[in-house]
Structure 1
Amino acid sequence: MTQQNPVPETADLCPPLECAGDLAILGNRVESAMGLRRGRRPEDLWRALRELARQEGEPLRELLSRLAASPLSREDTDRLAPHLTVGETYFFRDMETLGVLRDRVFPELARRGGTVRIWCAGCSSGEEAYTVAMLAQEVLPPERLEILGTDLNPRSLRKARKGHYTRWSFRGVPSPWVERFFTRLPEGVRSVKPRFRQGISFREGNLLDPASPFPDGRPGDVILCRNVLIYFEEAAIRRVLSLFRQTLSPEGWLVVAPAEAPLVQGFGFHPLGRTSTFLHPSRRASGETPREREYALEGFLPPPLPEELPTALPFGPEEDLFLPPSPPQPAPLPLPPSPEEDLLATARQKADAGLHEEALCLCSQAMERDRTDPTPYYLSGVIHQERGATQEARNALRRAVYLDPSFVAAHHALASLAPDRESEARHLRNARELLLALPEDEVVPESGGLTASALLELLHIAPR
């Protein structure tokens, strides 16, 4: 009879010394097959194996010995991927970058004519790909869009294809946007409307595979690979960027996260100024240096903004996109995280991976350590809503507001859970009043990085 729980909760939390050899072997194989930096760190690999062993009912050390004994098969990488990849994603993440896409890149592609091909590399559960479709359709008809999302994690891809999401995927997204782009389903689930599914496909893909993700081999116009390369080793980054250069049109754009821009600029891509998350491939003819393309600024002026979506967050004067980047300034040394911050960071990772019970347990531990901190109550409320436990979600969010009446994100979350229009209006009014009292450029906690002015603007947007 198969053992049901071979990995006790308190056993083997850290890799034993006698497993170091097999972990090193397996780590090298994970790096070669998947490119992941996390696969080389024994503690990350051990944690992934613990989760996989518990899930499949296999003794932990037997699993490690078996995987270390021979090269990883496709089935092995499929089983490991959900436990080694990071699924932190949500709709309309990083409004500044999305604003440049909507106001500058997509209008330029619309003027060029033809089909616009966009590749979301490392798309996780699909929120980014659908967000791109929603913004691109402001200036492009669906029939001119071809959006491909690829990821290593088959579990995430199944969710992406289904297109059903709960509260956790809408952090910082105002209710009117949710109503505009999604269909309401029972138990707090929202489904992407059919219009915004047109032209989107998802498929399993390894970024270390040198073949183009597009079956016909034609180049793409935009590649989004945000918060992916930071988890790769340098040799893997070189291989991925080589694939991107081959796949991307000479006049195309590579979009990365701010922390990844320095990784990319040394490998055949050059930034478009201070917003260095947007890069063009450098093309080198025989015996020539890379030719920097010149752009007419007036060709990139955005069209009038649609009423349904807010103005993009400020990203400087129009010419900033084309000026040389400012010299990097040394960042101040961060303070070490408190134990509560460590617990909540792990809780967020667990919640992103769908391990809600473990995430709630960590939130409870954080509450025990500091019962005056509203953050674990807020996070617990969002997780309860993800699970469809509406009353538990309301209770936790109300506790967060009780501890901190100025907790804007908690008021906003309570509005989405309100049983009637009057209650929803009250919570939204509270959120607006609090935002008006904040400095415009202050980042609102738990809002996905939005400033007070940006979030206030979102709350005033009416659905189409």
Structure 2
Amino acid sequence: MGLAGQARGGGVMEPKEGLDRFAAFVERRLGLVPASASKEELAALLEELAPRRQWEDYLEKLESAPAGDAALRSLAERLTVGETYFFRHQAQLEALVEEVLPHVQREGRSARVLSAGCSTGEEAYSLAMLARESARVEPSRLFIKGVDLNPRAIERARWAHYSPWALRVTPEPLRERWFHALPGSEFALRPEVSDSVHFEERNLLDEDSGFWAPNSFDVVLFRNVLIYFSPEAARRAIARIEQALTPGGFLFLGPSETLRGLSDAFEVVQAGEAFYFQRGRGASSTARLRIVTPPPIPAAPTAAPAAKAVPPKPAEPLHKLEGAGRAWRLLEEERYAEARSLLETLPEHEREHSLSRLLQAALHLQAGLFREAERLGKALAESGAQGAAAHYLLGLCREQAGDTASARAFYERAVHLEPTFALGHLRLGMLARREGAPTHARVALRLALTLLAHEQPVHLMLFGGGFGRHGLMQVCQRELWACSEVA
């Protein structure tokens, strides 16, 4: 007898059946892997939305709900988490304004930009401000639209009032020019910026042939969104974006995100410290912007040489590294190019300190300079300095090169040297799941989820890819749900 038959007969839906059906709906309709650390938390959310005896009716209502339904919108509010602020990943925004938009606006064309998964609007407004600061962009021919699944986030974006925390990396001249202080502690965007961006509530997975029509957008910002999507939902979203972009149009993802396994229709473009993607053109197209292929990486051993492994040395506190401490602060503010430049000017004793070398290696990795990152990582690993972090960094380099066997060996060495290294367990779990070993994956991922609550801040700064502790826990949760599906 089916679930509906049980309900009509007066029975109560079994918890596992209800949770599985609820989770499957959330992924299918919203694209999200539920942001709950356990089945118990997901059950608590479902119980809050509908008492157990009403689960069947509630789930049936959700499954038949049209776009914009109140219950669906309420669920989206509960399950989506926005982590954003003004001028996040500023190098990418500057490349968009100084390279991409002038390229699009040539010969009098307008530029149409979509901020997909815009949250509370900081990304779209940051672009609008930078465009008004640039002599190379014509704001009158720049049209920016922001869309998000969360109705409350869209309301806040339209309201355009922000806390000091949202402006924490906003340059002071821009804060003074484009915001005015409100009584209390909030800041409001000036109308010339807030009126220049249009926001609408939209599920990126809903069918809408008009919105996603070919040639609808020249640029799509889809940064730090894939982390919340299931693999299938990510493929659907990227396919829809590809369809809507003009030939030769541009896609911006978060610095730690990739199109690997999602699409072969884009090539990597580099402008300074920023990397982004360009859609392939037709045969009659003009020449595209310079495409940069990462340099070849020397072969790495399949496992760290045991003879050279020594116990990790205790790290010197960051506050004792004066110049390097400033570089770490720049990293925390995602000002990667400035951090690299500052490191090069440090006195030799500070520059050669193991923490400074680790920071430099991580910045090389962030910029796509894999050969330099791997060279520094090998030197640190062989000396025993920053052992776990150095081996983890080498694993990232090998994974970027497609050498998953060596990557796994380096991650295993990292967690052997430091058993509480949450990020190492996370990468091992992700590799295991993708290689079809869900049992091994679940063990590693559950351990990672527990340890992430106590992961060292230095590891989060170096290897978090712009995401905080909570965002990385979301990644872990998504992977665990994917393992459950495989099983």
The equivalent of 2:31 in structure 1 is 35
Q: How does 1:158-169 map to 2 (within 5 A)?
A: 158-169=155-166
Partner of 2:323: 437
Contact 1:48 1:83 in 2 (8 A): no
Find the counterpart in structure 2 of residue 76 from structure 1: 71
Deviation at 1:192, TM superposition (A): 0.9
How far apart are the structure 2 equivalents of 1:328 and 1:64? Answer: 55
Shift of 1:244: 0.9
Cα 1:172–1:96 change in 2 (3 A) is same
SS of structure 1 residue aligned to 2:200: strand
TM-score scaled by length of structure 2: 0.54
**Aligned twin of 1:94:** 89
How far apart in 2 are the matches of 1:240 and 1:292?
27
2:292 equivalent among 294, 317, 323: 323
Q: Residues 12-45 of structure 1: CA distance to partner in whole angstroms, max 9, x if unpaired?
A: xxxxx96222111011111111111236975496
How much does 1:326 deviate?
Answer: 3.9
**Mapping of residues 360-379 of structure 1, within 5 Å:** none
Give 1:29-178 correspondences, 5 Å limit: 29-38=25-34, 42-43=38-39, 46=42, 49=45, 53=49, 59=51, 62=54, 66-67=58-59, 71=63, 73=65, 74-139=69-134, 140-178=137-175
Partner deviation per Cα, 1:136-160 (whole Å, 9 max, x = no partner): 2234343212110000000000000
Aligned-pair distance for 1:205?
0.9
Specify the SS of the correspondent of 2:243. helix
Q: Deviations over 1:289-332 (max 9, x none)?
A: xx7988587xxxxxxxxxxxxxxxxxxxxxxx63213468999x
Separation (CA, whole Å) in 1 of partners of 2:210 and 2:273: 25
Alignment partner of 1:187: what SS?
coil
The one-letter code matched in structure 1 to 2:125 is Y
Distance (whole Å) between structure 2 residues aligned to residue 51 and residue 156 of structure 1: 24
Q: 1:445 to 1:272 in 2, by over 3 A?
A: closer
Match of 1:191 in 2: 188
> Residues 445, 107 of structure 1: CA spacing in aligned structure 2 closer, same or farther, 3 A cutoff?
closer
Q: Alpha carbons of 1:52 and 1:277: their partners in 2 closer, same or farther (altered >3 Å)?
A: farther
| TM-score normalised according to structure 1 size | 0.56
* Distance in 2 of aligned mates of 1:24 and 1:278: 38
Measured after TM superposition, the shift of residue 231 of structure 1 is: 1.5
Q: Name the residue aligned to 2:4.
A: none
**Alignment partner of 1:241 is 2:238:** yes
Partner in structure 2 of residue 226 of structure 1: 223
Question: What's the C-alpha RMSD, in Å, of the aligned pairs?
Answer: 4.0
User: In 2 relative to 1, CA 281–66 (structure 1 residues): closer, same or farther, beyond 3 Å?
Assistant: same
Shift of 1:162: 0.7
How far apart are residue 280 of structure 1 and its match? 4.5
Alignment partners' CA distance in 2, 1:187 and 1:271: 45
Q: Indicate conservation of the 8 Å contact 2:267/2:280, yes or no.
A: no
Measure how far apart 1:59 and its partner are.
4.8
Change (3 A) 1:216 1:330: same
SS at 2:87 equivalent? coil
Q: Say whether the 8 Å CA contact 1:212–1:243 is kept in structure 2.
A: no
> 2-side partners of 1:44 and 1:295: how far apart?
54
Matched pairs, number: 307
Identical aligned pairs, as a percentage?
A: 35
Partner of 2:387: none
C-alpha distance 173-283 of structure 1, shift in aligned 2 (>3 A): closer
Residue range with higher mean Cα deviation, 137-146 or 237-246: 137-146
Higher relative contact order (CA 8 A, sep 6+): 1
Are positions 1:21 and 2:17 aligned together?
A: yes
Evaluate the alpha carbon distance shift between residue 292 and residue 443 of structure 1 in structure 2; reply closer, same or farther with a 3 A threshold.
farther
Shift of 1:174: 3.6
